[in-house]
A and B are shown apart, each in its own frame.
Chain A
Amino acid sequence: MSINHSKETHYPAKESFLSSFFRSLTEEIKAALVATLWFCFLTLPLVCFRINANTQKIDYLWERLPKVAIIAFVATLIWRFLRKRLSFSHVKDTLDEVSGPPPDEARGPGGSWVTYLMAAKHKKLYAILALAFLVTIPFWVSPYVVMILITALIYICLGLGLNIVVGVSGLLNLGYVAFYAIGAYTYALLNHSFGLSFWICLPLGALTATTLGLLLGLPILRLSGDYLAIVTLGFGEIIRLVLTNANFTNGPSGIGGIAPPGLFGINLNATVKPFLVNLHLMHKDMDLNKVLIFFIMLLMVILTIICVFRLENSRLGRAWLALREDEVACQAMGINRTKAKLTAFAIGSTWAGLAGVVFASQITFINPSNFTFMQSVMILSIVVLGGMGSIPGVIVGAIVLTLLPEYLRGFANYRMLLFGLLMVLMMVFRPGGLIQSTRQVYIHKPLENKEP
C-alpha cells in the first residue's frame, strides 16, 4: 500500500469497493491526468521524433501524441483501479484476521492455487506424467519449437544456478553471463583446436566456470549489496571484452563449426531419422542432433532440480540462507561466512558453465555478442519474476520469459514494452514472484500431539 493510499485504509470494510472507488473518482482522474502528462513528456522523443534516414533530418510526428495520451490515461486509470482493489482486499484480510484464523496459520499469503497444486498429494504421479509428456514433444512438433524449448531449458538451468547465488544466498550477481560465456567458449575452443567431444567438454566447461567463480569470489568476499552488484557487473563486461579482443577467441567474429553432441558415433540424421520420418513419427525437417540436445537438456534440468533441491535443504543451503538474512547473525551461529559465500558463487557458476557448453553445441556458432549484459539481466529477471529462492518459480519464470518473446513476435515493436509491463504488473501483484518460495516446513510435532 503506498502512502498516498493510506486514506482509504480507514474506510469501513462494509462499504463496497466500487462505491469507494467512485467516491474518489475526481481524485483518481486528476492523478491519472498528471501521470499521463508525465508519460507523454518522458516518451516524447521516442514517440514523436524520428530521424529520417534519407534526409538526415528529424521528422515530427505530432499526430501520434493524442493516441499515446489516451492510451496512457486509460491505462493509468485501470492501473489505479486495480491497485486500489488490491489494497482494499488487503484491508479486508487484516480485518478478517483479527477474529479469523488462529495465529498458527499466519505464515504469509501462501494459499495461492499454485502452491495448492504444488503441495498436492499426487506429486510423483504429476512428475511422471509431465516427464512422459515432455519426452514425446520432439515427435510431434516442428524443428522451430524444439529450438525454442532447448533455449527455455537452458534458461531454466541458468535460472536455477543464479537462484543459488541471488535467491538463496542473497548475493546480487550481475555478471552471471560471464560464466555462461566461459562454458560456451571452453567447449568451442577445445572442440575447435583439439577436437575434444561434447561429453568431455561438458564437465570441463563446468569445472572452468566453477574455478572462475571461486577466483571471482575471493576478492569480493568483503563486499555485499550494491558494491557486489557493481563489481560482478564489471566482471561480466571484462570477460566479454576479453573475448572480443583476444586473438585466441577469434575476436568479435567468434567461433563457428562447433560440433553437436555425439551419441556413440552414430550419425543420427542418416540412420535413425529416415526410419522415424517414414513412420510419421517426426517432422521431415527435424535435425536429430537438436533432438538429442533437447533430451540432454531435459535430463540436465531434472538433475539440476534434484541437485539444487538437495543443496537447499542441506547444511550448506542453510548456511546460504543465513548469509542472505543477516551476516552478523550468520557468523554468530557458527557458520563460516567465507566458505558460504565462495561455495554459493562457485556452485552457482557451475550451472552457467554446463548451460554454456550445451548452448555452444546447440547454435554451433558463438561470438561475444551472445553474452552481453542483457543476458545477465534476462537471467536475473527469470529469478525475480519466478520468485527468488523458489525452484518451481524459477522454472515458470524461465519458460514465461523465453516463450513470451517468441509469441510476441507479431507485436514486434511493442515486445519490450509488454515485457516491461509484465514485470511491473508482477512487482505490484505478486511481489514475491510468480511462485513464492516455500522451504521445507519444520513442524513441531511432539508438543502438538500433547495438546487437548
Chain B
Amino acid sequence: MSESNNQNPQTILELTNVHTFYGKIEALKGISFSIQEGEIIALLGANGAGKSTSLKSIVGLTPPRNGRISFYGKDIRGMKPENLVEEGIIMVPEGRRIFPALTVMENLKMGAYQRNDKNGIEDDIEYIFTLFPILKSRHKQDGGTLSGGEQQMLAISRGLMGRPRLLLLDEPSLGLAPIIIRIIFDTIKKINIEQKTTILLVEQNANLALMVAHHAHIMTTGTIIHSGTAQEIMKDETVRKAYLG
C-alpha cells in the first residue's frame, strides 16, 4: 500500500466536475477525482449515491452532460463504449451479467472480443485459470449454471480478457458468502500487483474495500464528500460512523 516505490506516478484517469443525468434526475452533481497508474481506488457510499453511475459515465454507457473525463491526457467524454474498451477501460458491471447460455470458455473469449492475438488470448486464459482454478474445471459448463461466486469470478476474468489498462469493478462482493468474497478480494489485490492493472473499485462493503485500496472516495447523492488514503479513512472514526456505518 505504499506509493514510495513509485517515484513518478502518472495520472491515468481524471474526472473534472462531471455531471450525469437520467432524464431530469441529476445523478452526478459535479464529481472530480483522479487515479494514478497502478493504484486501487475505492468508491464508497450508500445505495443510490451514484457509484454505478460514475462507472457508467466513465465507460460511456451514460454519457455525462458536462465536465471533463480524460484518460492518459486524452479527452474521452462522449466516446462510445466500444471505443473506450479499445482504449483499455473495461468495466465489470454490477450484478455480474455473464452470458448465461454461453460456456465459461465462450464467456472468456467474448471478453477478448476486440483482440486478434490468438496466442496472447491463450496465455491470458492460462493466467486466469491460475487465478481462479475452479473456472478451469468448469470451463465447458454454461455460464448460467455457475454458482454466484463462480459467476463473479467469471465476470472479473472476462473483464481481464480485454487486457484492461483500467479495470472498473462494480460491487464484486454483491450477494456472496464471506469465504468467496475473501478469494475475490485477494485476487483483486493479486491482479493489481502481478499485472500492474489500475483498478477502480465500487463497494458497499467499506471495510473490505479499504483493506485492498490505496485511496478512497466517499459519495452521497451524486457528490464526493470525503477523500483520502485508505488508512486515513479507516482510522477516521467520525467519517466511518457518519458515512460507512
Contacts and interface: CB of A to CB of B under 8 A. Distances in A.
A441 interface: yes
A332 interface: yes
B109 A106 contact: no
Contacts of A107: 103, 140-142
Contact of B103 (A333, A335, A442): A442
A239 to B, nearest CB: 32
Interface stretch (B33-41, B83-91, B209-217): B83-91
A322 B110 contact: yes
Contact of B129 (A104, A319, A331, A444): A444
Contacts of A108: 142
Interface string B167-185: 0000000000000000000
Contacts of B111: 333
B64 interface: no
Contacts of B113: 315, 318-319, 322, 333-335
B59 interface: yes
Contacts of A321: 99, 102, 106, 110
Nearest to B122: A446
By size class, the interface of chain A is 20 to 34
Contact of A441 (B97, B99, B140): B140
Contact of A447 (B86, B99, B126, B162): B126
B13 interface: no
Interface string A95-128: 0000000011111100000000000000000000
A443 interface: yes
B129 A447 contact: yes
Contact of B85 (A315, A325, A334): A334
Given A331-B61, A444-B125, A103 B141 contact: yes
Interface in B69-112: 80-82, 84-86, 90-93, 97-103, 105-106, 109-111
A325 B102 CA distance: 8
Interface stretch (B24-32, B131-139, B199-207, B227-235): B131-139
Given A104-B137, A328-B97, A447-B136, A333 B110 contact: yes
A333 B110 CA distance: 7
B195 interface: no
Contacts of A328: 61, 93, 97
Most A CB contacts (10 A, CB to CB) among B90, B102, B159 go to B102
Contacts of A444: 105, 125, 129, 136, 139
Nearest to B81: A331
Contacts of A441: 103, 105, 140
Contacts of A89: none
B70 to A, nearest CB: 20
B145 interface: yes
Nearest to B134: A103
A369 interface: no
A318 B105 CA distance: 13
A329 interface: yes
Most B CB contacts (10 A, CB to CB) among A106, A333, A335, A439 go to A333
B16 interface: no
B107 to A, nearest CB: 9
Contacts of A333: 85, 110-111, 113-114, 158, 162
A189 B80 CA distance: 43
Most A CB contacts (10 A, CB to CB) among B92, B113, B142 go to B113
B136 A103 contact: no
Given A103-B141, A107-B141, A333-B162, A326 B105 contact: no
Given A334-B114, A439-B106, A444-B139, A329 B85 contact: no
Contacts of B93: 328-329, 332
B97 A329 contact: yes
22 contacts: A104-B137, A107-B103, A318-B109, A322-B113, A325-B100, A326-B97, A326-B99, A328-B93, A329-B93, A329-B98, A331-B61, A331-B82, A332-B61, A332-B81, A332-B91, A332-B159, A334-B86, A439-B102, A439-B106, A442-B103, A442-B109, A443-B140
The 7 closest A-B pairs by CB, nearest first: A334-B85, A325-B99, A329-B97, A442-B105, A331-B81, A334-B114, A334-B82
